[in-house]
Amino acid sequence: MPQPGLARTIWFIVFPGFELLDLGGPLCAFNLAIDYHHAAYEVRVVSAAGGLVRGSSGVAIDTIAPPSPGHLDTLVVVGAPSAEVLDRQSETVDLVRALAPRARRKASVCTGAFLLAAAGLLDGHRATTHWRYAPELQRRHPLLRVDADRIFVREDDIWTSAGITAGIDLALAMIEEDCGIATSKAIARDLVVYHRRSGGQSQFSTMLELEPRPGRIRDALAYARSHLRERLSVEQLADVAMISPRQFARQFTAETGETPARAVERLRCEAALPQIEASTEPLDQIAIQVGFGDMERMRRVCLRIYGQTPQALRRRGRALEAAD
């Protein structure tokens, strides 16, 4: 916590080739907090050498070199649109490693998680990044656990967000922690974004995530979504696709990156979530309606996908409704 009367210093670290929206989204949220909601923030954009730093879009940002030691509340490392750009940032990694001990909380937006990990800050932690780069982050840094389903992950003093616009969600969560839910909700309205994205913290709809090419697998997935109360075995979905169960399972996994069973669980969770959060219907009845069969199975899948039990998701939904 900053000393009384001292602003919370937020430093954004950028580097040549950084993703502009990784910086612009959360930076705008914090600036709105300052300009319209009287939040005690002091925001700076920092780079290893200072001066103009050109992002991947060609837009150059004026930055400062790291100031002399002093109060640093939050360190936010932005990402880049390719791993090749990140691999050239040894000076930035050194800067992150040097500044991290001074910061109360450390954060990354999108692929900025690669730089936090390279600085040794994510070992033993759970983290997220853009879904496209999640497998590569896990491969390079086996001591961390990548949770590719989440919009953002907070673990102790480490915050990581998913791809690009998820940096706004991360900033709103930090502002809520610092200034309260009323302020974060007001800033979400200023930004014309959801205060809490529908669908919990999942990065995107299951249908969008799996994204099979047009054809038999997509047809089977659409059938599953409209028949969630049924058993939906591999054999049944293979009949819809008009191929053998063995060929269907192999082709489904190749096109979507998920087994048919896991994909169906995601679809059921996605269908259950609005009812869990917004209705008063008994949870065991919701589990039956979306095809889980029993509450315990729905609880296990919700924990894996959303990181919370159905009961916790319902409490959160009621708390957010009460705060509106």
What CATH number is associated with residue 100?
Answer: 3.40.50.880
Same domain, 15 and 66: yes
Asked if the structure places residue 2 within a domain, the reply is no
Average pLDDT over the chain, rounded to an integer: 89
Same domain, 71 and 154: yes
Higher pLDDT, 205 or 7: 7
For the chain, percent of residues with pLDDT exceeding 90: 68
Asked if the structure places residue 109 within a domain, the reply is yes
Asked if the structure places residue 196 within a domain, the reply is no
Residues of the domain holding 14: 8-191
Q: Give the CATH number of the domain where residue 302 resides.
A: 1.10.10.60
DSSP-derived 3-state class of residue 224: helix
Q: Where are any strands of DSSP class E within 23-182?
A: 41-46, 51-54, 60-63, 72-77, 103-108, 126-127, 145-146, 152-155, 158-161
Whole-number pLDDT of residue 200: 38
DSSP-derived 3-state class of residue 98: helix
Same domain, 241 and 306: yes
Same domain, 185 and 234: no
Cross-strand pairs, 9: 42
Tell whether pTM > 0.75.
no
Whole-number pLDDT of residue 96: 97
Same domain, 135 and 231: no
Same domain, 143 and 243: no
Q: Do 35 and 190 contact (CB within 8 A), yes or no?
A: no
Whole-number pLDDT of residue 1: 47
When divided into structural domains, the chain yields a total of 2
Same domain, 144 and 290: no
Within 13 Å of residue 252, how many CA atoms lie on the same side as its CB?
Answer: 28
Whole-number pLDDT of residue 237: 96
Same domain, 122 and 241: no
Q: Do 306 and 269 contact (CB within 8 A), yes or no?
A: yes
Q: Of 77, 27, 84, which Cα lies nearest the Cα of 56? A: 84
Same domain, 65 and 120: yes
Integer-rounded Cα Rg, in Å, for the chain is 22
Same domain, 120 and 235: no
DSSP state of 206: H
Same domain, 133 and 26: yes
Q: How many helices (H) and strands (E) does the chain have?
A: 15, 10
**Residue 160 neighbours by CB under 8 Å, 6+ apart:** 107, 108, 112, 113, 116, 122, 127, 128, 129, 152, 153, 170
Same domain, 96 and 183: yes
Q: Is the pLDDT of residue 203 over 90?
A: no
Distance CA 25, CA 165 (A): 7
Q: Is the pLDDT of residue 240 over 50?
A: yes
Q: Do 302 and 308 contact (CB within 8 A), yes or no?
A: yes
Instruction: Quick: pLDDT tens for 63-87.
Output: 999 987 678 999 999 999 998 999 9
Q: Of 269, 275, 252, which Cα lies nearest the Cα of 307? A: 269
Q: Is the pLDDT of residue 298 over 70?
A: yes
Residue appearing with tokens 């199975």: 297
